[in-house]
A and B are shown apart, each in its own frame.
Chain A
Amino acid sequence: GQQLNQSPQSMFIQEGEDVSMNCTSSSIFNTWLWYKQDPGEGPVLLIALYKAGELTSNGRLTAQFGITRKDSFLNISASIPSDVGIYFCAGLSGGAGNNRKLIWGLGTSLAVNP
């Protein structure tokens, strides 16, 4: 199935460092979502972006909806051990009314060394 290009694939950082990851697409999206998934659990929504250029924060997390509508970025500041997990970007594809679906990246696996 169709998937977004998400990078990096994995990161290993020291506690307290900042983290950046991004997601790109050849298609335009109207909504970008960032999720975090812990092992054996469902993804948890972190940030939703609905407008090109939008910059939204959720605590130490900040995400931006790219101007071209083909990319998005997620930054985590001052990482802590509980930030460990897999981060997914997802774009909501176009289409009329309800005929829209989420297209997902392959995920960025984050490990934090205390």
Chain B
Amino acid sequence: ETGVTQSPTHLIKTRGQQVTLRCSSQSGHNTVSWYQQALGQGPQFIFQYYREEENGRGNFPPRFSGLQFPNYSSELNVNALELDDSALYLCASSLVAQHTQYFGPGTRLTVL
């Protein structure tokens, strides 16, 4: 059974740029959730995708957007990057019926 994978592992961008982060869900999982984790904080829910549609969103502005593909993999896109967007971005997959989420290793984004 393949676990959740994310790419890239690290990324450095400058303010105003755009970034795309990728996630492959655990085999058989149809739901993907994205989280932002600032240093010393718990993960903050960005949004969740189920069957290629957004299915719940946290308190993040519209410049945070996402996609889910037919194979259940997912992308997180962030436009007009700000310094405060620097964080570890975590992807978690789950079977919708169980809701228990399994996390990938994360992508460390640094905005300069």
Does the CB pair B45–A1 fall under 8 Å?
yes
Nearest A-chain residue to B98, judged by Cβ: A48
Q: How far is the CA of A100 from the CA of B99 in the complex (A)?
A: 8
| Dominant secondary structure at the A interface | strand
Contacting residues, chain A, for B88 (C-beta < 8 A): 40
Complex partner residue of A98 from B41, B48, B105, CB under 8 angstroms: B48
Number of A-B pairs, beta carbon distance below 8 Å:
65
Does the CB pair B90–A106 fall under 8 Å?
no
Does the CB pair B103–A101 fall under 8 Å?
no
Contacting residues, chain B, for A31 (C-beta < 8 A): 99-100
Interface size on A, residues (CB 8 A): 25
Which of B13-21, B52-60, B64-72, B76-84 sits within the interface? B52-60
Which residues of B are in contact with A by a Cβ distance under 8 Å?
4, 6, 31, 33, 41-45, 48, 50, 55-56, 58-59, 88, 90, 92, 96, 99-106, 108
Which residues of A are in contact with B by a Cβ distance under 8 Å?
1, 3, 31, 33, 35, 40-45, 48, 88, 90, 92, 98-107
Further contacts, 6 of them, CB under 8 A, given A42-B4, A102-B101: A41-B106, A43-B90, A45-B103, A101-B45, A102-B45, A104-B43
